[in-house]
Amino acid sequence: MTYPQLKLNSQICHRLYKASNGISRAYRAWLSELDLTYPQYVVMMALWETNQLTIAALLEKTGIDGGAMTQILKKMSDKGLLTIVKDEDDKRKRWVTLSDKGIALQHQAADIPEKIRCRFPSIDDEQAQQLIDLLDKINHDLGEGGA
């Protein structure tokens, strides 16, 4: 090979890509029981943390693309998990609030993070924290902010 720097096994980005895809696949079975996709689950976690957020705040908190967020919120609204209402003072601003069904779903999802953590038996808690710290640095350097 003329350019050894182009080998896949030399790329951080390819490892992140593979890990991201693998993690998404790992979530799929548990999230399908909740009738959620991974991006919908991310939105739910943001709203379980702080119910009633503006769409702008959700975009910032989750890092989800604006066009994708519109579709995600529509599907979640159709499922009865949340409501979207215009701000009374600023009609351009919309508020997203969990419905009773969306709030109740939190109980069903409570054990998912531990199930995912168990999928990494070769990584101890200290290494997991180091990984979180490194990923936060990568996201910061890329202008995506931390968690």
pLDDT of residue 18: 93
Tell me what pLDDT residue 10 has.
87
Predicted TM-score (pTM) of this structure:
0.88
Distance CA 124, CA 117 (A): 10
String of DSSP letters for the chain: ---GGG-GGG-HHHHHHHHHHHHHHHHHHHHHHTT--HHHHHHHHHHHHSSSEEHHHHHHHH---HHHHHHHHHHHHHTTSEEEEE-SS-TT-EEEEE-HHHHHHHHHHTTHHHHHHTT-TTS-HHHHHHHHHHHHHHHHHTT----
> pLDDT tens string for the chain (147 positions)?
689 889 988 899 999 999 999 999 999 999 999 999 999 999 999 999 999 999 999 999 999 999 999 999 999 999 999 999 998 888 789 999 999 999 999 999 999 999 999 999 999 999 999 999 999 999 899 987 655
CATH topology of domain 4-141: Arc Repressor Mutant, subunit A (1.10.10)
Parse the chain into domains and list their residue ranges. 4-141
pLDDT at 147: 55
Instruction: Output the pLDDT for position 145.
Output: 60
